[in-house]
């Protein structure tokens, strides 16, 4: 029987595949939740075994500067070469059959929630297409862009390894800088043919972001796109492995977290802003998906 693909959070993935040291444990202990940035050569020899097909709740961006390694994302195998970036999008299935310890470069890992920080802009998140499951995961780094990207990754590494807890403002701002640089490169060197399902999924995501405060259902989006709800759901699931309804809920959740983080609105005001007339239903919606109440989430922000 085919084994089930496991979805990991960052800590569980490290425990499964990484031989930790006291120094590493101390770094992770003081870091922001689900964020790290390392040189590949600093941790490659600590990977204890090949990575079986898995999903992570976070994004991982790997920039190879020397050497090559082979990885599989979805059903396709990729050989990542120097001056290439590979992106493991949160939720994508990936595996690595052989660990190459002669690869140099950087690995930057972060949960999508970290982008909701002080400099977060929810309209920008829709533009980072390369973070969406189903998009081409390889980005070629030009010689013009390389110094800026190396500088940002060096700064993120230094912040992660600092004696004190990483400064969220610095991490947020440099992460956005990195993503903005990758967006430019992705737009210029991605020439992959996109399937009809991919185009439908991309259109659906954009509509869901544009109408996030209208509390629309999948059938409403299907009508806007002139396709059946079943066709919309099948297309989205073939690209993301998630239902259209779940993707819509995730986009709503991001918007709610932005409002909880960046606005002074009360919980009931945010509920109304998001199109929920029943504040208790709104709270149940958030708690079921975020595993914490809106009030609890706001308290977590205040402590961070």
pLDDT in tens, 178-209: 999 998 898 755 545 567 888 898 889 889 98
Give the integer Cα–Cα distance in Å for 93 and 54: 5
Q: DSSP state, 194?
A: -
- Band (pLDDT 50/70/90 cuts) for residue 1 is very low
User: Taking the model in full, what pTM does it have?
Assistant: 0.80
Q: Is the pLDDT assigned to residue 127 strictly greater than 90?
A: no
Give the integer Cα–Cα distance in Å for 19 and 16: 9
Helix axes 229-240, 218-225, angle to 10 degrees: 100
| DSSP string covering 129-193 | GGGSTTS--EEEPPTTTHHHHHHHHHHHHHHHHSSSPPPHHHHHHHHHHHHHHHHHHHHHH----
Domain ranges of the chain: 6-189, 196-303
Q: DSSP state, 37?
A: E
196-303: CATH, from 1.10.10.60, 3.40.50.2300, 3.30.70.100, 2.40.70.10: 1.10.10.60
Structure tokens belonging to residue 173: 């701002």
Q: Worst-scoring range by mean pLDDT, 14-23, 130-139, 236-245, 257-266?
A: 14-23
Q: Is the pLDDT assigned to residue 107 strictly greater than 90?
A: yes
Structure tokens belonging to residue 292: 């914490």
Query: Per CATH, the architecture of 6-189 is what?
Result: Sandwich (2.60)
Mean pLDDT for 7-25 is 82
Q: Which residues have C-beta within 8 Å of that of residue 269, sequence separation ≥ 6?
A: none
């Amino acid at each position: 029987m085919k084994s089930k693909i496991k979805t990991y959070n960052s800590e569980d993935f490290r425990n499964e595949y990484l031989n930790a040291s006291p120094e590493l444990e101390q770094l992770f202990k003081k870091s922001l939740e689900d964020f790290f940035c390392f040189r590949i050569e600093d941790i490659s020899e600590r990977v204890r075994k090949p990575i079986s097909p898995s999903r992570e709740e976070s994004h991982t961006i790997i920039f190879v500067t020397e050497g090559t390694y082979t990885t599989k994302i979805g059903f396709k195998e990729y050989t990542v070469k120097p001056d290439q970036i590979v992106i493991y999008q949160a939720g994508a299935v990936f595996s690595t059959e052989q660990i190459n310890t002669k690869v140099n470069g950087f690995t930057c890992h972060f949960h999508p929630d970290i982008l909701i920080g002080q400099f977060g802009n929810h309209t920008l998140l829709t533009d980072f297409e390369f973070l969406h499951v189903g998009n081409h995961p390889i980005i070629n780094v030009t010689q013009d862009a390389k110094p800026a990207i190396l500088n940002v990754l060096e700064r993120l590494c230094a912040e992660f390894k600092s004696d004190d807890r990483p400064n969220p403002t610095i991490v947020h701002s440099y992460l956005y800088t990195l993503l903005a640089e990758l967006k430019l490169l992705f737009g210029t060197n991605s020439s992959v043919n996109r399937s009809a399902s991919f185009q439908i999924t991309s259109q659906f995501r954009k509509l869901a972001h544009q109408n996030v405060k209208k509390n629309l259902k999948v059938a409403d989006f299907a009508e806007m796109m002139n396709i059946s709800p079943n066709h919309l759901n099948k297309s989205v699931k073939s690209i993301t492995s998630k239902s259209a309804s779940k993707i819509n809920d995730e986009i709503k959740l991001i918007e709610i977290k932005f409002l909880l983080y960046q606005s002074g609105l009360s919980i009931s005001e945010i509920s109304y802003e998001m199109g929920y007339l029943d504040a208790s239903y709104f709270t149940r919606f958030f708690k079921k998906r975020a595993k914490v109440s809106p009030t609890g989430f706001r308290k977590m922000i205040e402590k961070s």
